[in-house]
Amino acid sequence: MDTFKSFESNLYGINDDTFADIALGLFRFQAAHNAVYKAFVDNLRVNPAQVQRLEDIPFMPIAFFKTHTVQTGVWTPQTVFTSSGTTGAAVSRHPVNDLAFYLRHSERCFEHFFGPLTDYHFLALLPSYLEREGSSLIAMMDHFIKASGSPYSGFYLYTVDKLLADLDKLRNDSRKVILWGVSFALLDLVEQYHPDLSHCLVFETGGMKGRRREITRAELHTTLTQGFNVSSVFSEYGMTELLSQAYTRGGAQFTAPPFMKIIGREITDPLTKGLVGETAALNVIDLANWNSIAFIETEDLGRVYPNGSFEVLGRMDNSDVRGCNLLVSQ
């Protein structure tokens, strides 16, 4: 019998052979126990019992997080993650049943690609996120900082001089150093100080937050690699509405963890899914979202490749500018 516990127990044993069966089981469970999603599926006249392929699952538009409480089952949230937004604009709200699970899960996503948190110093340059409440990224980074056990790991809000001094102190340290920042803050650091970060890994989480003009990810990475004297820049793909994160390893293509899958859809016809190798709107299956909704139709544009990796090229033209996105490459 499908229950929250059964989905959690299966989450970390998922592989390419089992993903579809578990995802279809979760779809049927959420179509029955998530009131908002059930109404959406019913409105499309889809019979969950007849859905046999991932591509045939109805993906809920991400904008529903701005207008509805998206929750599977009946429970009281431990916390609610909220998105950033322009003044007066509606924000997404993602109720979280178990904050400790989210923190452990984010750690597993990171360690799947990069190894133990204790191998790193985490220096976080995330001013716009620290200046508001409800950021899932701040919750994740706070956990990484504490779990790393490093006296240098921390947030640097208005202390750029200390950040530069600490980066320099760690130049020959045995641990690897990660500078994790929002795009506009990293660009400010490059332009004002031109620090040599050749001993660091630079992670960008996107977003100009209205502080600078939006640019393509390729332009951002070129500026940062040259300005910081690093060979490449890493990127994280995450958002308020997802509990999982995907990462690049210094290139343009993201790789999702085993419990997350990206599916391309036709830009002008959201019901046509499964596009590979061409510009498409992106749907996300995040099996960690069993308490909310695992099947999300995002407003991001990108390309999905045959090996499952994907690029994020920008935003749909008619969608709000959000913190984790850059403009479409020209």
User: Which part of the chain is CATH 3.40.50?
Assistant: 100-237
- The answer on pLDDT for 4 being more than 80 is no
For residue 316, the model assigns a pLDDT of 80
Residue 88 pLDDT > 70, yes or no?
Answer: no
pLDDT at 12 > cutoff 50: yes
Q: What's the rounded mean pLDDT across residues 187-191?
A: 95
Whether 296 has a pLDDT exceeding 60, the answer reads: yes
Measured CA to CA, the distance from residue 267 to residue 316 in angstroms comes to: 8
Would the pLDDT of 327 be above 70? no
Taking the C-alpha atoms of residue 31 and residue 25, their distance in angstroms, rounded to an integer, is 10
Instruction: Kindly state the average pLDDT of the residues 148-152.
Output: 97
The pLDDT score that the predictor gives to residue 132 is 81
User: Which comes out higher in pLDDT, residue 216 or 1?
Assistant: 216
The confidence score (pLDDT) of residue 156 equals: 94
Q: What pLDDT, on a 0 to 100 scale, did the predictor assign at position 18?
A: 94
pLDDT computed for residue 223 by the predictor: 95
Residue bearing the bigger pLDDT, 322 or 27: 27
Among candidate residues 274, 325, 275, the one with its CA nearest the CA of residue 299 = 325
The mean of the pLDDT values for the chain is 91
Say yes or no to pLDDT of 212 above 60: no
* Overall average pLDDT of the 264-289 stretch: 94
With b meaning 16 or more CB within 10 Å and e meaning fewer, what string describes 88-118?
Answer: eeebbbbbbbbeebbbebbbbbbebebeebe
Q: Among 84-93, 222-231, 256-265, 297-306, whose mean pLDDT is lowest?
A: 84-93
Residue range 127-152: mean pLDDT, rounded: 92
Name the packing angle between helices 19-33 and 4-11 (round to 10°).
Answer: 160
For the segment(s) 100-237, the CATH number from 3.40.50, 3.30.70, 2.60.40, 3.40.1130 is 3.40.50
Give pLDDT, residue 187: 95
pLDDT category at 324 given cuts 50, 70, 90 is very low
